[in-house]
Structure 1
Amino acid sequence: MTRKRAAVFRYLFWTAMKLALLLVVVVGLYTIYLDSALTKRFSTERYQAPALVYARAMELYPGASLSLATVEAELQRLNYRPVMRLTDSGQYLRQGNSLALYRRPFDFPDGPRMAQAVKVEFSGADGIARVLSLPDGRELNRFSLEAPYLGRITGGNNEDRLLVGLERVPNLLIETLLLIEDQDFYHHSGVSVSSIGRAALANLAAMKTVQGGSTLTQQLVKNLYLTRDQTLWRKANEALMALIIDYRFSKNEILETYLNEVYFGQDGGAAIHGVGLASRHYFGKQVQELEAAEIALLIAVIKGPSYYNPRRYPERAQQRRDMILQLMFSQDLISRDGYLVALEQPLTHSPESGRGTQQLAHYLELVKQELTQLYLPMNWQREGLRVFTYLDPIAQRAAEQSLAGQIERVSKDPLLQGAVVISDHQQAGITALVGDRQPHRAGFNRARDAIRPVGSLIKPFIYGIALESPATYNLATPIADDPVKLAGPDNQIWEPKNFDNTFKGSMLLYDALAQSRNVPAVRLGMDIGLPVLVERLQQAGVSTPIAAYPSLTLGAMAVSPLTVTELYSTLASQGQYRPLQAVKAVTNHQGLSLYERPQPAAHQVFARDAAYLVTTGLQGVVNEGTGKALGARFGKDVLAGKSGTTNDYRDSWFVVFDGQQVITSWLGRDDNQPIGLTGSSGALHVVSEILATTGIRPMQRVMPASLQLQAFHPVTGVAIPEDCSEARLLPAPPQQLTEDMSCSGEPREKSWWRRIF
């Protein structure tokens, strides 16, 4: 019996040894596999980072036409706090007619700039008088505020993060995180039995969960690679993977990865990961600016981002934050005074926005399209992008509010839609774009994709080509405004008419343009030649097909509001075409430059003289023509513009430009039904309200040397003496004026003495 027992024991022993050996081999092979896979994934595929999109940085300099109220509104948009005394970045102080502000550190496209305090002095309507460095009072030529954050373009995993290096994270945040989540982080090997025991005792003493037993490394493994299933297999896998990562990578690498990966809740449909994006989402700050109360709240949220959501459940979030502050004080991480001040601070400063998916949907769509056309690293989502655009938040908000408000005012049609595009023609940048009467509604982007006939908007380009032949045409050249018949497609007879169904006979070219007469534009267009007109329009940015029929002279050409803005930016830029773009520069999240837009190459579409003369005519549109409502509101000779109305009142257009911006407004229905509005009764009002908000940048018009201001007869267009009461003063190439020309435009009768000699 004893031998039999011994045999059974030996059998069981060796079987167990074999199974144990097999288990060791399996675990070893699995560990080798995990080691290889984890090392590669952790090194190259930890997470994906989004493209963070920024607006233009407001430039403050002497002479800038910015009011104190405008700059203060920009500071509030950047979440600066008004204070009684400047002590830290992100603060400002208003003192009479000046603003003192403390700019935050910011990574601009051309490199990082440190926090800096300045004083900006204003001189009423003249804008900024001086910019002084504080505290030394040194005068500065230029000072940039940080670029306002607009939103994010995410990858396919709907995870958002702003990557930050460990060197940018405040020591207080790191120390508090380790205090709450993993006190032995720098001493264990990825798994800590003592941490599990300590957490159990702390939770028992507090009669609630205040600490977790998993190490930061285990939490990171779970977030990156595992599910949240509470099973022994998952926990064992987690521990083994934590040991491998801790062995292969440094503690600082693991900690930095954790800080960029940890989950903080949702912003719309996107998950917020990492302390960098969380600090921006909850407080509107960069992570290096966080204060004790804000650090405590972020670490409180880690425990349960939904349960401790400070906006949805402020009471429970504050209780946990205050508990963490108490622990920070008890461990001498903050002083008693700091602890008491932190307890009184509000939970969050930055209102919940959902900017990742809702606001500026059409502009961000345009940015996303442009990014696909740039030569960026294929794996850019490993390091993320910071995209700097031309968008001006002031202009964007004005465009959104004006379009929505004026559509309601001019029409009760619920199907009436619209679009607005604003460009900075000096920089060839798109500063605002609205593609729907409800600006935050994603979907069809009418500013970019609505291809509509332009009507009279085409006329300035006809006049521009004609005025390049000064021997034949100038602003005083008489143009016939009488019936004309032309052969259209399939030899059908086309008889164009004027808007008022009348004909004025002969009129000056300037008046025909300023009054937007149809028949003179048709005659002029046929004279210069339709192929020439088509070629110039294509050179100025039109990429859609253009049919070279006579009706083209009255705008039988369909383009988008964005293309119209490019066309008129060419006129505003002295006849030079430069493609408009939304993206100005791109860096990664660490500030390394990936793309900087070069000075846009320009080519001359119209001669500078012709562009100057056309702009003079477009000033006439605002002064006395279809845009005279703008002239009455803002003054004469400060704006140039053009209205456009298509057949049966299906489209209402208005374009206006000043010394810096071009504003295009379009109203119409998606089903192309009549809307009963002309350019002046519809789209003009949208433009007018935008200008009332953005203000007007004076046009610095310098008359070309080949032109001079001269007097012309108002009917015949011949040069007459300047002292004639009815003389029309117009810029033109020098005209030969005989001594005997009378104010009536006829030669004076010569005396008998002059007839003899």
Structure 2
Amino acid sequence: MIAVGILLYLDSIVNSTFKDKQWSVASTVYARPLEIYEGLPLTLTDLREEMTMLGYHFVGQVNNPGEALIDRNKVTIFIPQFQFSDELAAAQKIKITLNNGFISKLESKDNKALVRLQPLVIGGIYPSHNEDRLLIQLVDTPVSLQAMLVAVEDKDFYDHFGISLRGIARAMVTNIKDGGFSQGASTLTQQLIKNYYLTPERTLIRKAQEALMAVLLELHASKADILEGYMNEIYLGQDGPRAIHGFGLASQYYFKKNIMDLSLSQQALLVALVRGASYYNPWRNPERALKRRNLVLDIAVREKQLDADLAELAKQEPLKVGERSVSSTKRYPAYLDLVRRQLQNDYKAEDLSSDGLSIFTHFNPLIQQTAESSLVKMMANNKKSEPNTNLQGAVIVTQPNTGAVTAIVGGSDTRYAGFNRAIDARRQIGSLMKPAIYLTALEKSEQYTLATLISDAAYEKKLDNGDSWSPKNYDLKDHGDVLLYKALARSYNQATARLGNELGLDNILSTLKRLGVDSDIPALPAITLGAAELSPLEVAQMYQTISSEGFYTPLLAIRSVVDPRGEVLTSYPIAIEKRFSSSSIYALRHALQAVTHEGSAKALQWLLPDFAVAGKTGTTNDLRDSWFAGFSDDMQAVVWLGRDDNKTTGLTGSSGALRVWADIFKARSQQPLQNLPPKNITLGWVDSESGVGSQDSCDNAILLPFVSGTEPKQEIRCSTTDKVIDWFRNLTN
């Protein structure tokens, strides 16, 4: 009766669980797909880099998906099949021609105007046991792969009932000779039972249980179901802490190909790995892997599962594994951190790590690569001059009009998955706060214009506790009365502190909220000069509203989430809310352009010559933090440099963060800023010292924008032709 009870118990386990088997399948996180169309700004260097990251094989003749040919300025690409969020795109061959940094011609089978490369896998969200797999169905796997697997691992698979009596007899003889339990007799069915239900211990009781459950499984499941289960379960490699399970994922991991696109030799290599993924690792032990692969082909021929001529041709091929890349668990940890946090609003953690979701993001690997290299270069240069300074940094890059986050660097070790400074480092932002003060003023257009004179004399503020606060300018000088735009452009502390406190701290905090800063900031006089702690991500959100012309757009990493069947579960559309008048934002952006021409960021005139941008430097007390936030028409970025121990860096915003920012924009931004005036803006000449109306021909005359009706009424009459500042006039011509 006990034996019957055990049998019924094991049968219930097998019968109730195998058919409804739910593997914990990691969610895969994808970058944006590179969209190819005529007129796209794209260099051959960038295209080659993108294809290299995607694992394309560069060949002399393109015959298979995943192959590419570069012939001077002409590129042939065989794009593999891929399930996008909106369609299952079939494999297709395209030809493109590049000229002068643009795609001048696109040829495709269906004459499509736009074609997408498959997106780069940038990481995953894994189960707690760190097993990862890409589930496949038997009908979607090459018959030759199935045949080789059966021939090598269990040639009697289709004839036995779960156990092999001949194998058991052979194993018993060997074990008696060895005086122990050194050899098993596992069929594919037994191996599946062992991996799925049992522990790896080698005892007679465990082995008997395995054999009995294998027989029971054969009674309830077809050979096709068992083989499919085996091909999804088997361990085939290790990617850092991530275990590669199943032939579907192994195909992507070793060859960056869909399993149906594998050549015969590549299929044989995967079968070879079944006997020992580490021992036959093709990157670590290529000769050993090649020998085992060829043996797999020979066995398949011997068992009449493969044509001998095809096997010989396959044996002549090299291993053809792709480049071994950085572990996907370590590739872009800072960006994946943001993805996880944004997903938490809609998904449970266990669903993200077990349901095999595809998460499509706005991540741009080319921008990310540039951001990383620019930051690391700054760190290396700083280390040479200051060897004892442990400088850190963070970068966030977004698109001005959409709020799409395209790149994040969380620290000097770009692969470190620990403290993410881009999101979690809260530091004083210094002069990055100043645009909020001047925007508050410019919203009162009847009272303040860019030409309004404000005082930069010494300033003292009595505090509630009886103390006084007396901020000083960086150059320790008083500049008297200055034009409002010039006080921002040259980052005068005394003028800004006085203006901000006159406007009212509650009004300043309200402006910050409307810009997108959700943190609670105390209403203290020093916040006018940036004595408020924000993360680089919060600063990016604040400047996002400025770069998008006063429209608040929440920063987003994710485009959509798709289930394994290709159904869209969640879309993340752009959300836009107008929060500031067009005229006030236009005037502020004009002043931020002046920062880059005549103010604290004027180094951009030679770092980015003839390329219009706007932005603001930020430096905190004792040079503890170096900031720059700025934008063009197609990119916005925030860069922070500092030390984790909050000691001095020796860097200002201009000498530190600005240089990293400029490197990124020089390489990646394609569209200079066009600060187009709204209809209610008029241009007027004013005297650069007094703000009084002037004429084009006058000394010290500058051209400034005004809300119609707020231009200076008084006008200087003169006839000279000298000019002090004419950058804005050049922009408007």
TM-score where L is the length of structure 2: 0.91
CA shift digits 1:239-286 (9 cap, x unpaired):
221222222233333222211110113221222111122112212222
Bigger Cα displacement from structure 2, 463-472 vs 241-250: 241-250
Residue 638 of structure 2 aligns to which amino acid in structure 1? T
In the alignment, is residue 684 of structure 1 matched against residue 658 of structure 2? yes
User: Over residues 697-720 of structure 1, what are the superposed CA-to-partner deviations in whole Å (9 max), with x where a residue is unaligned?
Assistant: 333433211113322221222333
Give per-residue Cα distances to partners, 1:294-346, cap 9 Å, x unaligned: 11111011012222222232222211100112234456655556434422333
> CA 1:736–1:180 in structure 2 vs 1: closer, same or farther (change >3 Å)?
closer
> Shift in Å at residue 194 of structure 1?
5.7
**Structure 1 stretch 664-673 or stretch 484-493: which is displaced more?**
484-493
Aligned partner of 1:516: which letter?
A: S
Aligned counterpart for 1:283 among listed residues 250, 255, 259: 255
Stretches of structure 2 that go unaligned for 5 or more consecutive residues are 174-182, 720-733
Mark the CA change 1:741 to 1:666 in structure 2 (over 3 Å): closer, same or farther.
Answer: closer
Deviation sequence 1:65-104 (CA, Å, 0-9, x none):
2112211211111111222332221122223323221111
Q: Is 1:163 aligned to residue 144 of structure 2?
A: no
* One-letter amino acid matched to 1:705: K
Cα distance, 1:426–1:492 mapped onto 2, change above 3 Å = same
Q: Tell me the SS of whatever aligns to 1:460.
A: helix
Q: 2: distance between equivalents of 1:60 and 1:743?
A: 56
> Structure 1 residue 636: deviation in Å?
4.2
The equivalent of 2:334 in structure 1 is: 362
**Counterpart of 1:749?**
none
CA contact (8 A) 1:710 1:719 kept: yes
Q: 1:612 to 1:309 in 2, by over 3 A?
A: same
1:551 deviates by 0.8
8 A contact 1:183–1:195 mirrored in 2:
no
Question: Where do residues 569-648 of structure 1 align in structure 2 (5 Å cutoff)?
Answer: 569-599=544-574, 601-636=575-610, 638-648=612-622
After superposition, where does 1:670-681 map in structure 2 within 5 Å? 670-681=644-655
* Distance in 2, Cα, partners of 1:78 & 1:478: 56
Contact 1:93 1:99 in 2 (8 A): yes
- Structure-to-structure mapping, 1:311-710, within 5 angstroms: 311-330=283-302, 338-375=310-347, 379=351, 381-410=353-382, 411-599=386-574, 601-636=575-610, 638-710=612-684
1:381, distance to aligned residue in structure 2 (A): 4.5
Which residue in 1 is equivalent to 2:87?
A: 111
1 CA distance for matches of 2:349 and 2:157?
A: 35
Q: Does 1:257 align with 2:229?
A: yes
Which residue number in structure 2 is paired with residue 70 of structure 1? 46
The one-letter amino acid of 2:337's match is E
Q: Deviation digits for residues 197-234 of structure 1, max 9, x if unmatched?
A: 89999xxxxxxxxx994322211111111122332222
Q: Deviations over 1:508-552 (max 9, x none)?
A: 222112111112222221232211211221233323320111111
Q: Which of 14, 21, 44 is matched with 1:38 structurally?
A: 14
CA distance in 2, matches of 1:200, 1:141: 66
1:590 is displaced (CA, Å) by 4.0
Tell which structure's C-alpha radius of gyration is larger: 1
Choose 641-650 or 541-550, whichever is displaced more.
541-550
Please identify, of 724-733 and 284-293, the stretch whose mean Cα deviation from structure 2 is larger.
724-733
**d(CA) in 1 for partners of 2:159, 2:521:** 73
Alignment size in residue pairs: 709
Q: Deviations over 1:133-181 (max 9, x none)?
A: 14x7x3x332111100112221111212122233332222112112222
In the alignment, what sits opposite 1:274? Answer: 246
Q: Is the 8 A contact 1:182 1:195 kept in 2?
A: no
1:519 and 1:176 map into 2 onto residues whose CA distance is: 79
AA at the equivalent of 1:706: N
Deviates more, 1:464-473 or 1:361-370: 361-370
- In structure 2, do the counterparts of structure 1 residues 637 and 623 end up closer, same or farther at CA, with 3 Å as the change threshold? farther
> Using the alignment, how far apart are the partners of 2:132 and 2:288 within structure 1?
25
Contact 2:487 2:495 in 1 (8 A): yes
What's the offset of the Cα at 1:391?
A: 1.4
User: Aligned equivalents of 2:525 and 2:718: distance in 1?
Assistant: 36
Distance 1:737 1:589 in 2: 61
SS of residue paired to 2:95? strand
Identity, in percent, stands at: 39
Q: Residues 729 and 198 of structure 1: is their aligned pair in 2 closer, same or farther, counting only changes over 3 Å?
A: farther
Amino acid at match of 1:37: I
Q: How far apart are residue 382 of structure 1 and its match?
A: 4.5
For residue 686 of structure 2, the aligned residue among 712, 727, 750 is 712
Q: 1:350 to 1:502 in 2, by over 3 A?
A: same
CA distance in 2, matches of 1:168, 1:482: 77
Contact 1:152-1:355 within 8 A present in 2 as well: no
For the Cα contact (< 8 Å) 2:515–2:546, is it kept in 1?
no
Out of 334-343 and 176-185, give the one that drifted further. 334-343
Distance (whole Å) between structure 2 residues aligned to residue 45 and residue 492 of structure 1: 70
**Partner residue in 1 for 2:178:** none
Instruction: Give the SS at the match of 1:628.
Output: coil
CA distance 1:200–1:390, shift in 2 (3 Å): farther
> What amino acid is aligned across from residue 661 of structure 1 in structure 2?
M
Shift of 1:428: 1.4
Question: Relative to 1, partners in 2 of residues 1:616 and 1:344: Cα closer, same or farther, differing over 3 Å?
Answer: farther
Secondary structure of the 1:621 match is: helix
Task: Tell me which amino acid in the other structure corresponds to 2:656.
Answer: G
Deviation at 1:45, TM superposition (A): 4.9
Deviations 1:382-412 (A, max 9, x none): 4312222221111212122221211221343
Q: What's the RMSD between the two structures over aligned residues?
A: 2.7
